[in-house]
Structure 1
C-alpha cells in the first residue's frame, strides 16, 4: 500500500498540471478573441456605434457579439447598417466563429476564408469588397449560407471548391464584376443549393445543367451567358433535327380514329352554320351599338349647348367651363358628388372650378388636362376631364377614394374629384417642370439643355420609389396600369412623381396607349380581348413598363412598338452583341467616367424586361438596386 501512494501522488500532479494547461490555453484563446474585436473596433468603427465594447463583460454587454456559453469563445457577430469601414482582417483570430453578418456597411478588405473553418453563415453583402473571390472557401465544410452580393469582386469564382461544400444552401453573388464560366456539367455538383443568384455580373458560356433549375432572374444581366433557362442558345449547341417521338399505345390511336369517324359530315356543317350565324349577329350588334352611341352623343351635345346658355352669361370666356370641348352636364343628378382629400383648398364644389381661369395643357389616352387658377387663393391645379364610358359609379368611387389617400413624395396626389353618371373631373397638384418624356425627348435641336447623368439617375430612383410605394400600399396589390415616361412628372423640388395612377381601370373599355411599354403577357391575345380584361394588368407588368422607362433614360430614344424596332427589342438585340457607347444617349458621352453606373442601370432595366412575369424582380428590389447605384455615384 505504501508503494501505491507515490503513484497516486504522481497521477494527481499530472491531472493538476493538465488542468492548469487547459485553463491557460482557454484564457489565452478567450483573451485573443476580445483583443481581435477591439482591434477591429479601433479600425472600422469611425462613427462610434460600438461604444458598448469598452465595458468589461464582452459576452453579455457588447452589441452584436455572442459567445459560447461554456468556452466563452466568440461564435456569432451581427453588425449590420453601422457604417463600418476598412478591413476585417483583425477578425481572423476568431477561429470558433460560426455566424458572420456585416452587410450594409462600407468594408473594403477581406482575408482568406480558411481562417474561419467553423463558419456556417456568411452575410457580407452591400459593402465595398473588391479583388478576386476570397480563397480557401473549400475549408468551410460546414458552410450553409454565403452572401457576397452588391460588392465589387472581380475575376472567376472557384466552382470546383464550391462543389466541395456538401451543406451549402444559399449562394448569392449578384451585382459584382465577376466573370468567367459557371463551371461544367460536373457529376459532383452542389445539389444542396436552394437559393442561387449571379445576376448583374459578367459571366459567360453555357449555364451548367445543375443550375438550370433556377429562374431567369438569377442570371439576368450576364449578356454572354447562354443555355437554359435563358432563351439564348449557345453557339456550339446542336439541336436534334430528328427528335425522339414519345411512344403512344395503339389503343390510344384507335380511340382517336374512332372519334374522328363519329364526327359526321352533317354535324360538321351544323357547326359551321352556327359559327357563321354567331359572327353575323355579333357584327350587327356592334354596328347598332356604334350607331346608337353616335346619335345619342350628337343629341346630347346639342341639348347641352342649348341648356347651358344661361350659365354662359355668368362665366368668363377663359374659364374652365368654356375651355371644355363639350359643355358639362348641369342637370340635377342625385348621384353627382364632389369629394375632397387632404390638401384640397380654395374650392369645395364643382362651380368653383368651372368659374376659374383655365387653359388646356393637352389630351391623353384617358382624358383632357387643363391648368386651372383657383379664384379664392390663386393656387394652380390641374383638372383632368374623363369623358369616356366609365364603370359603375360604386366601382369608380372605390378606386378614386383609394387613389385619393395615397401620399408619398414621389406620387402626384389626387386632391379632389367630381363624378356623376356621365362626367368625371379629377383635380391634381400642378407640377410646373413637365414630364420626364418631354425632358428626355422634347426639343432635341440646337439650344436644348441636356439632362445630365446625375439628374437622370435621380429621376429613375424617384420613379422607382413612387412605384414601389404604390405596389406595397396597404397590402392592396394595386398596380399603375399605364406606366410611361409621360406619367412621370417633375415637381418644384426636382422630384420625379408618378401620376395617372389606375385611371385606365375606371373605364369600361380601357384605351390602348403606347404599346411600347406593354409587357409581353398583355399582348398574347388581340388588343380587344386584352382591353376587355384589365385584370391582366399586374404589378409585374408595371415592372416591365418601368424597365422601358429606364431604357429611355439611358438611350434617349422614344419607346415605340413597331415590331423589331421597339426600344425593348432593340436593346435586347444590342446587348447580345459587341456593343459600344453608341447604345447610350449621345448627351451622356461627356460622363464616360460613369460608364459603370450606366451599365449597372442597364442591367437593372434588362432584369425588368424579362419575358416571364414571375422572373421579374419586385419594385422594392428594383428600388434597392438603383439606390445602390446612386450611392456609388455619390462616392
Structure 2
C-alpha cells in the first residue's frame, strides 16, 4: 500500500474507499456511501461556495439517483450526467472524482466562476458533451488535449479567456456535432477539422487569421465575425486577407521576451548560490499568489486596450493635468462622463491593483483600486460598433448624466473600435444574483420580506425612471428597450439594500447580430417576432420579481443554455401555473415564509407573485404597463410590515 502514501490526500480517500469496498464488502454498514455518492461528495468538496448543492448529502441514506440530488442526471440507476450550470460555483473541478463515475456521459459547468486552465476532462474518454461556457478559464489548450476523446459530440467552451491555437486534436472527435469556441482569444489559423457531423460551429470574436478552410464552407459569416484578419470566399466574398506581418512581429517579440526571462531566472539563481543564499524554489510558489498574478496579467490586458490607442498620436492620457478632467475624446483618452467619484485618467487606472470579478456574453469585469483609494469596476465590452465615435460619446454622456437613487451611472469610458471600456463605481455588497444564490452569509440571511419588498420597489422605480428618460416614439415600434439587460446580476445592492440598476442603455450601441442582452430572451424577441422594446423590459422585471419571491435561479437567464443542460428553474411557467391553481404560497422561498413573521407576510408576497406573472405574460400585449406595475409594487411594499409594524426602510 505504499502507493497510497504518495497520492494527493483527497485522491487517496476515494481510492482507499473503492479498494476496501472491493476487498471487504462485508465490513461496510448500510450507512457507507456508494462509490458514486463518495465520488460526488469529493467533487462537491473541491468546489468553493457549493451551498447550491445542499441536496448532495449522504444523510438521507439514499444515493444520488435515489435521493434526486440537484443537477444529477441518472439513467438506469447510474449517474449519466451532471448539470451544474449557473449555480455560483468556483474553485476546482476534481476530475479524479469524476473518473469514478463509470457511466458519466455529459458534464455542464457553464455560467459559473471557475478559473485557471482547462480542467483535465480529456481523461474521461467516454464523455459525449462538455459545457464550460461563460466561466473565467484561461490559457492555452494543449495541442493533443482531445486525442483520446473520440466519442465527444458537443464541446462548448465559449465566452472564456482561452488563448493559443485551436487544438488540431479535435479532428479525433469524428462524431462532433457542435463546437462553440467564440468569445475567447484563440489565435493563429483555423485548423481544417474534418468532422462530417458538425452542424453548429462558431469561432467568432477571437484573434484568428488567414484563410477559412473549405471544410467550413457550409457555415456563414456569423460563425467567423470579430476576427479582423480572417478571410474566406464562402463567407466574405472576394475580401482579401490582410497582412499578418504585425502578428508575426508579436510572436518574435514574445520569443525574445521569453528568452530574456529565462536568462534572468538563471542569473538570479546563479547569483544567489554564489552569495551562499538558498536557491529559488520555483515549485514552492504559493498557489494563491500565482492566481493573483494571473488575475493581474488579465487586467493588464484590459489596460493594454487603452494603451494601444495612444500609438501614433499625442499622449493625451485623460488626466486633469493634460485635458481638464479626463475628457477630450481622443482614441487614447479615458473620457469622464460623471465626476461623482472625482476625476481620474488612464495613468491612475493603469497603476491600479486589480482582480477579476467575472465574465459574460459581452465581456469581462475587473475591480480596480487606484492609488487614491477609489475603487471602480472596469468592464471590457465587445460587439458595440453600431454607433460611430461621435454618436457613442453623446450616448455615454447622456447615460453619465442620469440621476436617480436606483440607477448607477457610468463614470467614464474608453473608446476603441473593437472593444470598449466602461468604468463604474464599485459597490461592495455585490449583485442581487450573488446575494440570492451565491452567498449564504449575513447578507443572504438579511433578505427577509421587508428587504425583498424594498428591492422590488427600487428596481421598478429605477426602470420607470429609465423609461421616462428614454421614451419610445409611439410611431417607432422598433424603439429599443431603455434598459435592455435587466436581470438580478445587473441589480447591485447598496449597504442599506437599496437596489442600483447597471448595464442599461446598451441596446442602441450593440451590433445588430449580437443577441446577448436579457431583453433578447423575452418570448417575442427569442421567437424572432420583433425587436426588444419597452414591453421586453417589463418581461424582465417580472422575472426579477419572481426570482425574489421564489429564491430560484431563473432559466430565463440562460437563453439557449437552458436547452443544453443549462439548469435553472422556469420561474415564469411555475408561477403562472401556481396563480392559475390558486397555489401561490407553495412557490414562495421557504427561508422567508419560515421566518418569525413569515405567515403574516404571505398575503403580500402572493400579491407580488401575481404582479410578476402579469409582467411576464408570453404575449407582449397581455403584459401590464410599467406604470401599473410600479403602482402595484409600491402598494405591496407599503404593506410589507414586520412583526413590530415597521415598514421596510
Q: Please, what TM-score do these two structures have when normalized by structure 1? A: 0.48
Q: Please, what TM-score do these two structures have when normalized by structure 2? A: 0.47
Bigger RCO of structures 1 and 2 (CA < 8 A, at least 6 apart): 2
Larger Rg computed on CA atoms: 1
